[in-house]
Structure 1
Amino acid sequence: MPLLTFNDRGIYCARADVYIDPWKPVPRALITHGHADHSRWGNDHYLSTRLAAPVIKYRLGDIDLETVEYGEVKTINGVKFSFHPAGHIIGSAQIRVEYKGEIWVASGDYKLEDDGLCQPYEPVQCQHFITESTFGLPVYRWIPQEELFADINDWWRATAAEGRTAIITGYALGKAQRILDGLDTSIGKIYTHGAIENTNEVLRAQGIKLPDTTRVTREVNKKEYPGNIVVATPGAIGQPWVKKFGNASVAAASGWMTLRGARRRRGADRGFVLSDHCDWPSLLEAIDLTGADNIYVTHGYTAIFSKYLREQGYNAVELETDYEGELAEIETKGSEETSKENALADEE
C-alpha cells in the first residue's frame, strides 16, 4: 500500500492514522494553511505550523491545536512528518511524509514568487508530489510583483486625483495583506473591510508588520473616503455597504483577471492579475524541482494539466478533492465568520 492514499475524507496516511487537510471530520488532521477549503472545523486534533496557528484558531474557534516549526520532524508510529514553506500565505506549508525511504510531499496551495510577506517557497525532494492546478493552463502567466503594484498604485493615484474613492478586493486572509503590503501609503489613507481588519489584528498580534489601516465603520465620515483606498472582500461588492463610498472606482485583484469577462462578472472597473497560486511556468518549475516522477493533480485544471505532465514523461494522475483554490479563497461564499462580517458591514 502507498504511504499516502486518497479517500472520501481526504489525503490519508494509514500507517500513522492521520489525514492531511481533510474535508470531513477525522481524529487527527495535519493542516497546510488557514484557508477554509484546507482548514475545516470538526477534527479532534490539529497540527499546523506555529505561524499558521493564530488565524486557524481565530477562524475555527476553540480547537485542540498543536504546532511545529518549519523543518521540525514529528514522528508518528515511525512515519516522519515535517512542514516546509509553501510561499502561499503566512504560515502556509508543504507537508513532507517519509517512511522507510518512501517520500511524499503534499503541497497544499503554493507559489514560487517571494512576495516579501510570507515565508518563501522551498522545494522539497520526493518521489511522490501532490500538486494543485488552480491555474494549470499556459494562458496563466504572472508579471513580476513589483510591476503589478506599480500599476495598482498608479490606478489609486489617478483615482485620487479625480476626487474618487479607490476600492480593491482580495480575500481576507492572504491576498488582502499582500495588497496592503504593496500599497504606496504616501498616496493616501487605507481603509479596510471588517473581515480583513479582523484578520489583520490576528496577524499583527503575532508580530506580522502591516501598514496602518482604518476599519470601515458607520462612525467614519463619508467625506473622508475620496482620495483614499478601501481594501474589501469580493463578497462586499454589489452590497449596500459599497454605497457609502460614493463615486468610487472598483478593482479586483485575482489570477482570474487573466480571463476576458472576469472583471465584469466581479463588478469591477479594473482588474489586476494578482494570485497567491502558481502560474503555468511556476507549476512546471516546482514539479521539476521536487525530482518526483509520480505527480497527483488536485484542484484546478486537473485533466488538462495531468495530461500535459504525462506527455512530458511523468506518471501523473488527476484526483477529485474538495479543494477549490482561488475559487474558495475569494470568499464570496467563504467561511462562517466572513459571512457574519459581510452582514455586519452591510449594516454599517
Structure 2
Amino acid sequence: MKPQDLVVQRPEGLYCPPGDFYIDPWRPVPRAVITHAHADHARMGNGHYLAAAPAEGVLRARLGEIELQTLPYGEAITHHGVRVSLHPAGHVLGSAQVRLEHGGQVWVASGDYKVAPDRTCDPFEPVRCDVFITESTFGLPIYRWCADHELFAQINGWWSRNVLAGRASVLACYSFGKAQRILSGVDPTIGPIIVHGAVRPLNDAYRAAGVALPDTRMVTEVKDRAELRRALVLCPPSAVASTWLRRFGESSTAFASGWMRLRGARRRGGYDRGFVLSDHADWPGLLRAIGATGAQRVIVTHGSVPVMVRYLQEQGLEAEGFDTEYGDDVVEADQSAQEPAGEGT
C-alpha cells in the first residue's frame, strides 16, 4: 500500500484506511458508503450505511430495515479526518460517486455511472480529482449507444406493430433502474403497461422520489383479457422463462440491455428482439468521464479491466486495476432470477 492511498483492496471490499470505512463492500463491515442500490454494490449485513439522499427509498425497498444515513448531493461530512461528499453518477436513482479528501489528496470512487441523459435520475457530474476509480463494464470500443430518442422510437415501433398483430409485447429488463428508464421513455398512449411484481415496489420508490412515470398495472388487475394483447409488459428476465408468461397468450419477447450490442446475445437468450439500452457508460462515455476528472491516476474495476488499463497507459496516464466482486448487468439478472415469478411479489 502506498502511504497516500485513500482506497485500498481488502477481502471485504474497497477500504479507506484513514477514514476506517468501506465503499460498496461485498462482505459485512461496520461502516459502508454505498454508491447505489444494485445488488452487487449494496448488500445486507453492514452495521451502518451512508448513501445519497435520493437513494433512500430504493435502498429500503431492497434491503429493508437498515441503519441508513443519507447525505444530499454535494454536501460534505468529515469522518476521522476524511472529508466525504457524494456526487451524481447518472446510473440509477440515487447513484453517487464518492469524493474523498484527506492529506492534500482527492480521490473519487465512481461506482457505476453513465453520462447519457436520463429522466429518472440526476445527471452525471464530473468531479475533479487526483485519482479516479472507474468501472469498465462496457470498456471496449465496440460498445457505443445510440441516442435515447432513436432507441425509444424502436421500442415504440415494435410495441405498435405487436398491437396491430394482436399480441402482447413482453420486454425483459432489470427491475431497478432499467424498468423505470424504459417507462419514462415509451409512449403510454399505444396501450396499457403491465409490470411484474418485482418491478412494482421500485416504481413506487421512484414515484415517491418525484420521478414521473406513466400509470402501470399488475396482470391481476386487468379484467379484460383483450387488453393483454395490446399491452407492453415489463418483467425481469427470469419471468420470460417461467409459467408467468403464459398469462399473456401470444406474445413477442425482447430484452433491453447493453449486451444486445453483441451479435448472438439475443439469439442465445431466445428473444425475438433485442434493444441496446444500458445504464452504464459506453466506450466514448467512459473516456469522456475519465478525462473530465483531470485525474492522472486511474484505477479500473469490474468489466474490461486489462483493455481499459492498457488504453489509459497508452494515453500517458498512470493506470491499474482493482480486483472486485462487483458484477454488471448479469448481476441484476441473477438477482431477478431469485425473485418469485408470481404476481403477488
TM-score (norm 2): 0.96
Measured after TM superposition, the shift of residue 221 of structure 1 is: 4.8
1:143, CA displacement in angstroms?
A: 0.4
1:197 paired with 2:196, answer: no
1:102 pairs with one of 102, 105, 112? 105
Question: Equivalents in 2 of 1:277, 1:136: separation in Å?
Answer: 10
Which region of structure 1 is more displaced relative to structure 2, 317-326 or 277-286? 317-326
Structure 2 residues not aligned, in runs of 5+: none
Residue 316 (structure 2) pairs with residue 313 (structure 1): yes
Equivalent position SS for 1:130: strand
Q: CA RMSD in A?
A: 1.5
8 Å CA contact 1:157, 1:187 repeated in 2: yes
Alignment-derived partner of residue 63 in structure 1 = 66
Q: Which amino acid aligns with 1:200?
A: N
In the alignment, does 2:207 pair up with 1:226? no
Instruction: Give the conservation status (yes or no) of the 8 Å contact 2:192–2:227.
Output: no
Q: Which deviations, in whole Å up to 9, do the C-alpha atoms of 1:294-345 show, x marking residues without a partner?
A: 111111111111111111111111121010121212x2x216xx72432x24
Question: What is residue 151 of structure 1 aligned with on the other side?
Answer: 154
| Distance (whole Å) between structure 2 residues aligned to residue 221 and residue 302 of structure 1 | 51
Matched residue of 2:162: which SS? helix
Query: What residue is the counterpart of 2:335 in the other structure?
Result: 334
1:78 Cα deviation (Å)? 1.1
The more displaced of 304-313 and 210-219 is: 210-219
Confirm whether residue 206 of structure 1 aligns to residue 209 of structure 2: yes
1:159 Cα deviation after fit: 0.8
| Residue number in structure 1 paired with 2:11 | 8
**Alpha-carbon separation, structure 2, partners of 1:254 and 1:152:** 13
One-letter amino acid of the counterpart of residue 155, structure 2: I
Q: CA deviation at 1:194?
A: 0.5
Moved over 3 A (4+): 218-223
Deviation at residue 153 of structure 1 after TM alignment: 0.4
> Counterparts of 1:299 and 1:220 in 2: how far apart (Å)?
45
- 1:213 Cα deviation after fit: 0.2
Gaps of 5+ in 1: none
- How many residue pairs were aligned? 342
Partner deviation per Cα, 1:72-104 (whole Å, 9 max, x = no partner): 001001110000000000110000000122010
1:72 correspondence with 2:71: no
Mapped contact 1:237–1:267 kept (Cα < 8 A):
no
SS in 1 for 2:54: coil
Deviates more, 1:220-229 or 1:315-324: 220-229
Structure 2 counterpart of 1:301, from 282, 300, 304:
304
Q: Give the drift of 1:218.
A: 7.7
Give the AA of the match of 1:334: Q
Work out the CA distance in 2 between the residues paired with 1:117 and 1:46: 23
Cα displacement (A) at 1:223: 3.2
Amino acid in the other structure paired with 1:341: P
| Counterpart residue number, 1:120 | 123
- TM-score of the superposition, structure 1-length normalised? 0.95
